[in-house]
């Protein structure tokens, strides 16, 4: 070998060694990158290639009435997941979509788009949620033929009594991106999760929401499940126990539906504590419409509901039910002789104006004036004691102020009296006093406020803050958190003789007067009717009552309002009677809740003449 050849060979060998050395360095650096610098990242990528996570939404806590009836619970539901592993095969995905779409109530094109998106991501995602049990048989069979399909059992919110207490319970809705950012991430919310949008469902969202679970699956390259690595169990949310009496609530809602107009509100309280026994607003809505099975047709316009809670937001003149205040003011004045007769000729001449009574009652004393709801009697009494005396008692019972119930949107109504007029430097006229005496004019109350007033009379002056949640019980720890407690906001400090006389007058009104619709043997029932003037249409009907067993303090107080009902006794009276029968287990409710037949309902129609408000 020549020297020149040797030199060339030596240079080639040196170049080859240099290339080998460079390649070795590159491989070494790559190994350092994989094994050390980005070890965790590559490990997670490898894990995702062999594992998939399917989340399971925890059942929401249930909502119970005080007597243990679940009015918000959970029903079986299923979610269909696609694991998204393997290469995207359009033909395969189209065939899969064609087979699954009829059972999912979903267009094929929409399902193909979902499948393609999930396959591209390589992550498990739901194809459909809230599927009914009737779809599962076909889906279980199909998942045997299509690798990567997984059916998961979950639950959906269910309201077994449909519209019962709907304005109190509220409803669920999907959480949007804005809400999701505000939620406590520790609670494990996932985008588009169902959350409370109104009522108890919203107010106690944190307590009702459980801890979600998940299934960790080992899958092969085609997405077929090889084994369950871990099944992380969900934990149900806490149960909320209300103070509602199921029978009274159902009777109130049935009564309102069957009333003259089907519009109104009914509220019942325990006058010994302020606990809400019933709170109904009509028309109600069915919160099940917000959580339908996705494979079933939802009713048209199902989500177009009236969220207006008339029980706490509707303000109307209390009409003749306010005569209790006027009577109390006259009794407190000390100059009222309850046995003295005042002659009702059907009208009262105030000088500049003549005020009419709804009838001509002739000579009536205090008890007859109350039981017959004689306007002339109370015009005369009010003229003697003055409006300031009436306003003083009105303030004792917190008229014109919110009841304090823990519900958003409650209206305070409007206090009516000469003091406010004086503060605004406006005049108070004789006609204002006469209108105030019979609960008309600028005086406004909600049905809840009138129920609070009825409870205050029944308890002889204790104005309680209404509350509707008794306790919350954790399904995870078993711990009970006591919620509502009796709280007296104010005491109407009237003389004992005043309360005794009012009780006697209201009992007389039930036994012989306009409120005799709620008279029941073996019970001490007290009541007052009212018909509120409505310049926009038919008059509104009111019925106020409280009752107890003989020898015991009254245990239920209620107010019923029927919008455009025309008369308190005829429209609101049947609802009040149903509620009292349900509470005491009388009549049709002796063996539990049952709907009255048309024949039975006819028995509760008007007894005769009903009072009407004054006119010009």
pLDDT, one tens digit per residue, over 89-111 is: 788 888 988 988 888 888 999 98
Give the CATH number for residue 527: 3.40.710.10
What is the DSSP-derived secondary structure letter of residue 399?
T
Nearest CA to 82 among 57, 52, 105, 37? 52
Q: Is residue 39 part of a domain?
A: no
Task: Please state the rounded mean pLDDT for residues 404-431.
Answer: 91
201-239 pLDDT tens trace: 999 999 999 888 777 666 665 656 666 666 678 889 999
What is the DSSP-derived secondary structure letter of residue 523?
S
- Regarding whether 369 and 478 lie in a shared domain, the answer is yes
Residue 598 in this model has a pLDDT that exceeds 60: no
Please check whether residue 58 is in contact with residue 137, taking contact to mean a CB–CB distance below 8 angstroms.
Answer: no
Least confident stretch, 172-181, 437-446, 533-542: 172-181
Looking at the chain, the whole-number percentage of residues with pLDDT higher than 90 is 57
Show which of 185, 211, 240 is a domain's final residue.
240
Give the count of domains, the chain: 2
Residue 5 in this model has a pLDDT that exceeds 90: no
Residue 54 in this model has a pLDDT that exceeds 80: no
* Max CA separation in the chain (angstroms): 151
Contacting residues for 146 by C-beta, under 8 A, at least 6 apart: 96, 99
- Regarding whether 267 and 231 lie in a shared domain, the answer is no
Q: Is residue 356 part of a domain?
A: yes
Q: Is 404 exposed, middle or buried (0-12, 13-18, 19+ CB in 10 A)?
A: middle
489-517 pLDDT tens trace: 999 999 999 999 999 999 999 999 999 99
- Residue pointed to by tokens 């002339």: 376
- Regarding whether 173 and 154 lie in a shared domain, the answer is yes
Q: Which residue has the higher pLDDT, 483 or 296?
A: 483
Q: Is residue 6 part of a domain?
A: no
240: number of CA atoms within 13 Å, CB side? Answer: 26
Residue 593 in this model has a pLDDT that exceeds 60: no
- Regarding whether 130 and 259 lie in a shared domain, the answer is no
Res 247: pLDDT: 96
Please check whether residue 232 is in contact with residue 58, taking contact to mean a CB–CB distance below 8 angstroms.
Answer: no
Tokens read off for 63: 């909502």
Res 345: pLDDT: 95
Q: Is residue 296 part of a domain?
A: no
- Regarding whether 276 and 184 lie in a shared domain, the answer is no
Contacting residues for 56 by C-beta, under 8 A, at least 6 apart: 152, 154, 212, 213, 214, 215, 234
CA torsion through residues 515, 516, 520, 522, sign: positive
Give the CATH number for residue 104: 3.90.1310.10
Q: Is residue 133 part of a domain?
A: yes
Q: Is residue 235 part of a domain?
A: yes
- Regarding whether 254 and 225 lie in a shared domain, the answer is no
Q: Is residue 300 part of a domain?
A: no
Res 158: pLDDT: 94
Nearest CA to 328 among 234, 453, 233, 239? 453
Res 47: pLDDT: 47
Tokens read off for 5: 């050849």
Domain that holds residue 217: 51-240
């Amino acid at each position: 070998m020549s020297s020149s050849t040797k030199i060339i060979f030596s240079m080639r060998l040196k170049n080859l060694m240099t290339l080998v050395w460079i390649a070795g360095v590159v491989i070494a650096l790559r190994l350092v990158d994989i094994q050390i610098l980005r070890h965790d990242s590559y490990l997670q990528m490898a894990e995702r290639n062999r594992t998939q996570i399917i989340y399971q939404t925890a059942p929401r806590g249930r909502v119970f009435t005080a007597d243990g009836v679940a009015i918000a619970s959970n029903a079986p539901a299923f979610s269909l997941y696609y694991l998204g592993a393997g290469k995207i095969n359009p033909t395969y995905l189209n065939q899969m979509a064609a087979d699954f779409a009829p059972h999912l109530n979903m267009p094929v094109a929409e399902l193909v788009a979902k499948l393609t998106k999930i396959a591209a991501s390589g992550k498990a995602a739901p194809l459909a949620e809230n599927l009914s049990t009737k779809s599962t048989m076909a889906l279980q069979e199909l998942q045997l033929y299509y690798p990567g399909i997984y059916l998961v059992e979950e639950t959906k919110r269910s309201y077994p009594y449909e519209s019962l207490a709907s304005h109190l319970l509220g409803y669920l809705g999907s959480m949007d991106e804005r809400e999701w950012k505000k939620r406590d991430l520790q609670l494990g919310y996932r985008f588009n999760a169902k959350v409370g949008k109104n009522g108890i469902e919203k107010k106690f969202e944190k307590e009702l929401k459980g801890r979600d679970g998940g299934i960790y699956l080992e899958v092969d390259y085609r997405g077929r499940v090889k084994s369950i690595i871990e099944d992380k169990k969900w934990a149900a949310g806490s149960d909320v126990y209300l103070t509602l009496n199921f029978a009274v609530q159902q009777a109130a809602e049935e009564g309102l539906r069957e009333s003259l107009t089907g519009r109104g509100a009914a509220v019942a309280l325990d006058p010994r504590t302020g606990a809400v026994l019933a709170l109904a607003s009509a028309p109600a809505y069915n919160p099940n419409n917000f959580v339908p099975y996705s494979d079933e047709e939802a009713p048209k316009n199902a989500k177009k509901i009236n969220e207006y809670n008339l029980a706490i937001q509707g303000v109307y003149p209390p009409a003749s039910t306010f005569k209790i205040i006027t009577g109390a003011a006259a009794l407190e004045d000390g100059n009222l002789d309850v046995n003295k007769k005042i002659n009702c000729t059907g009208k009262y001449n105030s000088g500049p104006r003549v005020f009419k009574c709804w009838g001509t009652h002739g000579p009536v004393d205090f008890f007859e004036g109350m039981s017959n709801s004689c306007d002339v009697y109370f015009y005369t009494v009010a003229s003697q004691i003055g409006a300031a005396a009436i306003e003083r008692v009105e303030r004792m019972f917190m008229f014109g102020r919110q009841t304090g119930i823990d519900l958003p949107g409650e209206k305070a109504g409007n206090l009516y009296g000469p003091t406010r007029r004086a503060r605004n430097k406006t005049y108070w006229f004789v006609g204002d006093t006469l209108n105030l005496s019979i609960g008309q004019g600028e005086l406004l109350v909600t049905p809840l406020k009138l129920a609070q007033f009825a409870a205050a009379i029944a308890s002889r002056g204790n104005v309680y803050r209404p509350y509707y949640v008794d306790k919350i019980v954790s399904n995870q720890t078993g711990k009970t958190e006591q919620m509502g407690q009796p709280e007296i906001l104010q005491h109407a400090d009237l003389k004992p003789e005043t309360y005794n006389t009012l009780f006697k007058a209201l009992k007389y009104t039930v036994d012989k007067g306009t409120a005799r619709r709620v008279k029941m043997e073996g019970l001490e029932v007290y009541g007052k009717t009212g018909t509120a003037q409505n310049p926009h249409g038919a008059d509104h009907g009111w019925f106020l009552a409280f009752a107890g067993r003989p020898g015991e303090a009254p245990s239920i107080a209620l107010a019923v309002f029927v919008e455009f009902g025309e008369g308190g006794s005829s429209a609101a009276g049947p609802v009040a009677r149903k509620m009292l029968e349900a509470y005491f287990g009388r009549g049709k409710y002796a063996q539990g809740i049952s709907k009255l037949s048309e024949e039975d309902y006819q028995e509760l129609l008007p007894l005769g003449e009903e009072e009407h408000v004054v006119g010009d």
